[in-house]
Amino acid sequence: MDTKTKTNTYIANTYGRFDVVAVGGHGSVIVDEAGKEYIDLGSGIAVNSFGVADPVWLAAVTEQASKIQHSSNLYYTKPGADLAEALCARTGMKKVFFSNSGAEANECAIKAARKWAADNKGADCYTIITLENSFHGRTITTLAATGQDVFHKDFTPLTEGFVTAKANDKDSIREAVAANKVAAVMMEAVQGEGGVVPLEKEFIDEVFRLAEENNFLVIFDEVQTGNGRSGKFFAYENFGVTPDIVSTAKGLAGGLPIGATLLGEKVKDTFTPGLHGSTFGANPVCCAAALSVVSRIDEKLLSEVREKSDYVFNTLAGKPGIEGVTGMGLMIGIKTSKDASEVVAKCQENGVLVLKAKDKVRLLPALNIPFDLLKKAVDVIAEAAK
Ligand SMILES: *Cc1c(COP(=O)(O)O)cnc(C)c1O
């Protein structure tokens, strides 16, 4: 059997896949089984922060893998400690819990918020408000947090205690806060799966005002927007606010599984031994990879992310067949007159891999994509959208 047939025979049928068998590559170029090369504007859904087989990343991974690949959280390990310190130094957050995915990072954020509320406001203050069109993961609890009914169907009953408000609608969030005993509001600064829709500063400011007035926590889900993607280390920095809890995953370890939940001043001591855990959490190889990634997301790289972002926005906006460009940094949604799937297929045919989010073409290239490859790929997109 070839890989496609074997996949369709033996792997659970949960994904719609593009007709590409990726076997290798270098940087922002992916090579398929037939030897065809693609410019990769998806980076494995915002995961391969420095592209494929990046030499610096590879050295960090192989060095740690050759020392000790795993030891469990029964013992101390240096990569996890170093990474937690680096994340706290970067953000002013106080402590970090490590897990293996975005959904788990959000589960931890939700548990921390409920525990904080139980300790500080009472056991009945467990409601977490999330936003319509949000995406927070695929576990039963993070599905409950996800404000899109299409993901809920046939999986009910979901975890109780979640309420949705309309994104960028101050009245809606005020009403939700007034009607519930609230532990936290959880939101993405740019809704990724929801169609690459940034929140407005005024809306975010109102959430923080309500949090102050009603003593609840603010959680940012930076699973997709984090780790340099928005042109800042975390996307919330673009709004000049300081959340109580931040979850991140996808791009943090540049292609290895990791989740991290950052706990701020108010919640830094909420967890005590036995309240939460993860066997693979703070895995040394994943943490060494992440430490390497985080250390490279400096001001120079971030300013290049912003410059490349401006290039994509300026080049595509107003082109024939392009109705709008949204997003932030290298997280970009393109509304095309043609069906987005048609544009995605055309790009693939012409050697450019792009993604979809709702009815938009979505770009999530590696943070260090070379400008010449980005320019070539943008020309292919413009042509495909015509
Ligand atoms: C991808 C994503 C998740 C889920 O991450 P997994 O690693 O797939 O569990 C959660 N929140 C946001 C914003 C995401 O983009």
Which tens digit of pLDDT belongs to each residue from 332-345?
Answer: 999 999 999 999 99
The two domains 3-53+299-385 and 58-296 share their CATH topology (first three levels equal): no
Split at pLDDT 50, 70, 90, the class of 175 is very high
What's residue 148's pLDDT? 95
- How far apart CA 251 and CA 42 sit, in angstroms, is 12
Q: How far is the CA of 270 from the centre of ligand 1 (A)?
A: 24
What's residue 350's pLDDT? 98
Whether the CB of 136 sits within 6 Å of ligand 1: yes
Residue nearest ligand 1's atom 15 by CA: 224
Say if residues 187 and 221 touch (Cβ distance below 8 Å): yes
Say if residues 219 and 113 touch (Cβ distance below 8 Å): yes
CA 244 to chain centre: 18
- The ligand 1 atom at the shortest distance from the C-alpha of residue 137 is 4
Whether the CB of 296 sits within 6 Å of ligand 1: no
pLDDT in tens, 190-213: 999 999 999 999 999 999 999 999
Split at pLDDT 50, 70, 90, the class of 310 is very high
Whether the CB of 101 sits within 6 Å of ligand 1: yes
Q: How far is the CA of 247 from the centre of ligand 1 (A)?
A: 10
Compute the average pLDDT of residues 70-84.
Answer: 97
Say if residues 151 and 143 touch (Cβ distance below 8 Å): yes
What's residue 330's pLDDT? 98
Q: What percent of the chain has pLDDT over 90?
A: 100
Whether the CB of 103 sits within 6 Å of ligand 1: yes
3-state secondary structure the chain: CCHHHHHHHHCCCCCCCCCCCEEEEEECEEEECCCCEEEECCHHHHCCCCCECCHHHHHHHHHHHCCCCCCCCCCCCHHHHHHHHHHHHHHCCCEEEEECCHHHHHHHHHHHHHHHHHHHCCCCCCEEEEEECCCCCCCHHHHHHCECHHHCCCCCCCCCCEEEECCCCHHHHHHHHHHCCEEEEEECCEECCCCCEECCHHHHHHHHHHHHHHCCEEEEECCCCCCCCCCCCCHHHHHCCCCCEEEECHHHHCCCCCEEEEECHHHCCCCCCCCCCCCCCCCHHHHHHHHHHHHHCCHHHHHHHHHHHHHHHHHHCCCCCEEEEEEECCEEEEEECCCHHHHHHHHHHCCEECEEECCEEEECCCCCCCHHHHHHHHHHHHHHHC
Pocket of ligand 1, candidates 14, 135, 186: which has the most ligand atoms within 8 Å of its Cβ, to mutate? 135
Pocket of ligand 1, candidates 250, 258, 280, 362: which has the most ligand atoms within 8 Å of its Cβ, to mutate? 250
What's residue 208's pLDDT? 98
What's residue 64's pLDDT? 98
Say yes or no: domain 58-296 is CATH 3.90.1660.10: no
- The ligand 1 atom at the shortest distance from the C-alpha of residue 221 is 13
Say if residues 82 and 291 touch (Cβ distance below 8 Å): yes
Compute the average pLDDT of residues 170-185.
Answer: 98
pTM reported for the whole predicted model: 0.98
Whether the CB of 188 sits within 6 Å of ligand 1: yes
> Which conformational region is residue 142 in: left (phi greater than 0), alpha (psi within -120 to 50 degrees), or beta?
alpha
Compute the average pLDDT of residues 11-26.
Answer: 96
What's residue 59's pLDDT? 98
Split at pLDDT 50, 70, 90, the class of 69 is very high
Mean pLDDT of the chain: 98
Whether the CB of 107 sits within 6 Å of ligand 1: no
- What are the φ and ψ backbone dihedral angles of 64, each rounded to 5 degrees? -70, -40
Compute the average pLDDT of residues 81-92.
Answer: 98
What's residue 380's pLDDT? 98
- How far apart CA 221 and CA 102 sit, in angstroms, is 9
What's residue 355's pLDDT? 98
What's residue 29's pLDDT? 98
- The ligand 1 atom at the shortest distance from the C-alpha of residue 45 is 1
The residues spanned by each domain of the chain are: 3-53+299-385, 58-296
Take residue 351 and report the two structure tokens written for it: 């050697």
- The ligand 1 atom at the shortest distance from the C-alpha of residue 257 is 7
What's residue 5's pLDDT? 96
pLDDT in tens, 274-308: 999 999 999 999 999 999 999 999 999 999 999 99
Q: How far is the CA of 360 from the centre of ligand 1 (A)?
A: 18
Fold exhibited by the domain 3-53+299-385: Aspartate Aminotransferase, domain 1 (3.90.1150)
- The ligand 1 atom at the shortest distance from the C-alpha of residue 222 is 13
Strand partners, 263: 95, 245
Say if residues 231 and 365 touch (Cβ distance below 8 Å): no
What's residue 146's pLDDT? 98
Among residues 360, 354, 359, which one has the least CA distance to residue 379? 354
Residue identified by tokens 């240096």 is 78
